[in-house]
Amino acid sequence: MLQVVDPKYDFNTAEIGRHLYPKQKATIARELLEVLGFPHPLAHGHVTGTLAELRETLATTIYFREYTENVKLFHERARGNQDVLAKQKSATTALNHVFSELGLQLEAMQNGREPRTAEGRRGSRMYGGWKLLRAPKERTRPVVGPVGVDLMAQLLKLRVEDSAVLKSRIQGPLREYVDGVPFRWPTMHANASEICGKSFASKQALEGHRGRKGCTPAKLPSDRAYSKYHGLEPGAAHALKRQSNTAAVSKYRHTLDGKRAVFRARHISKLRSMVIDAVPAPPMPKAPNFVRPPISWLIADAQLLPFEVPELFESGKTGLSHKTWSLKYHPDKVEVCIHDFTSL
AA letter at 179: D
- Quote the CA–CA distance of 76 and 70 in Å, as a whole number: 10
- Quote the CA–CA distance of 70 and 25 in Å, as a whole number: 9
Q: What is the dihedral of CA 139, 145, 147, 149, to 10 degrees?
A: -120
Neighbours of 88 (CB within 10 A): 19
Each of the 344 residues of the chain gets a pLDDT tens digit; together they read 888 998 888 887 777 777 778 888 999 999 999 999 999 999 999 999 999 999 999 999 999 998 988 888 888 888 776 788 988 988 999 999 999 999 899 999 888 888 888 777 888 888 889 999 988 875 544 446 788 888 889 888 888 888 888 888 888 888 899 888 887 654 444 444 444 444 576 778 778 877 777 777 778 777 777 788 888 888 988 988 888 888 888 888 889 988 888 888 888 888 888 887 787 778 888 887 877 666 655 555 556 666 777 777 777 666 555 444 444 555 554 444 444 444 44
- Quote the CA–CA distance of 318 and 329 in Å, as a whole number: 15
> Contact 58/85 with Cβ under 8 angstroms?
yes
- Which DSSP string corresponds to 147-180? --HHHHHHHHHHHHHH-HHHHHH--THHHHHHHH
- Quote the CA–CA distance of 49 and 180 in Å, as a whole number: 27
